[in-house]
A and B are shown apart, each in its own frame.
Chain A
Amino acid sequence: QKEVEQDPGPLSVPEGAIVSLNCTYSNSAFQYFMWYRQYSRKGPELLMYTYSSGNKEDGRFTAQVDKSSKYISLFIRDSQPSDSATYLCAMSPLLNTGGFKTIFGAGTRLFVKA
C-alpha cells in the first residue's frame, strides 16, 4: 500500500463546475498537507498549505484536512479552463532529528471544458 493514494483521473468538468480532488494517506505522523498545481512540461507550484486538521480558503480554492479519516481534499469553485492541470497532494511529518521527507501523490489530471 502506498503512503499516499490519489486517483489519477482524468477528471473532466464543464466551466463553472465545482471540482473536488482528494487524497488518502496511511501515515498518522503527517502534519503538513499541501496541494500543488502542475501545468504540462512545467514544475509544480504550491497552491495551498495546511497544518494539522481543518479548512483553509484562498480565493476559489479550499483545502480540507480530516486527520481522523486520513483524507484531504481540494475544492475549486467556479472552475475555469485555466485550471486545467495536474494537481498533486503532498504531506510531511513533523520535523525530527532525521529531518523529514515530503511524500507526493501521483497527481490527478483535471480538464475544464469551456
Chain B
Amino acid sequence: DGGITQSPKYLFRKEGQNVTLSCEQNLNHDAMYWYRQDPGQGLRLIYYSQIVNDFQKGDIAEGYSVSREKKESFPLTVTSAQKNPTAFYLCACGGPYGYTFGSGTRLTVV
C-alpha cells in the first residue's frame, strides 16, 4: 500500500540532546513537508523540500534541520537550539491540491 510513514510514534528528548524524526513515503511525490502542531495553533511549517537535495525554511525553522538525499526520505532533526520542542510533529507529501500526512511523532522533553 502507498503511504507515508513516520517513526517513532513517541520520542523523549533530554535537555541538550539532538533527536531525529524519520519520514518515509512511497507515493512518488517530489514535495515533502514538516509541520509542528501545538494545541490551539494549527499546523506551522518547519521545512519543506520540492526536490531531492533542495529544501527551504518554513515559518519556524530555527532549531531544526533537515536533509533530502533521497526522494522517499525527509528526516527532521530537532537540535538543542530548539528551546521548546515538545509538540506533535507531522510529515506530509503532496501538492497544492492536498497532502497525505503521516501518523505523527509526539516529542516530549524530559
Contacts of B40 in A (CB 8 A): 8, 106
User: Contact check: which of A6, A44, A46, A100 meets B96 at CB < 8 Å?
Assistant: A100
Contacts of A106 in B (CB 8 A): 40-42
**Residue A61 at the chain B interface, CB threshold 8 Å:** no
> When the two chains form their complex, are residues B101 and A44 in contact, meaning their CB atoms are under 8 A apart?
yes
> When the two chains form their complex, are residues A34 and B98 in contact, meaning their CB atoms are under 8 A apart?
yes
Contacts of A42 in B (CB 8 A): 103-104
Q: Count of A-B contacts with CB under 8 A?
A: 57
**Residue A60 at the chain B interface, CB threshold 8 Å:** no
* Chain B: number of interface residues, binned into ranges: 20 to 34
Contacts of A102 in B (CB 8 A): 96, 99
**Residue A32 at the chain B interface, CB threshold 8 Å:** yes
**Residue B48 at the chain A interface, CB threshold 8 Å:** yes
Interface residues of B in 33-71 (CB under 8 A from A): 35, 40-43, 45, 48, 50, 56, 58
Return 7 A-B CB contacts under 8 Å, by A number. A31-B96, A34-B97, A43-B102, A44-B99, A49-B97, A49-B98, A92-B96
Interface residues of B (CB under 8 A from A): 6, 31, 35, 40-43, 45, 48, 50, 56, 58, 88, 90, 92, 96-104, 106
Interface residues of A (CB under 8 A from B): 6, 8, 31-32, 34, 36, 41-46, 49, 51, 88, 92-95, 99-102, 104-107
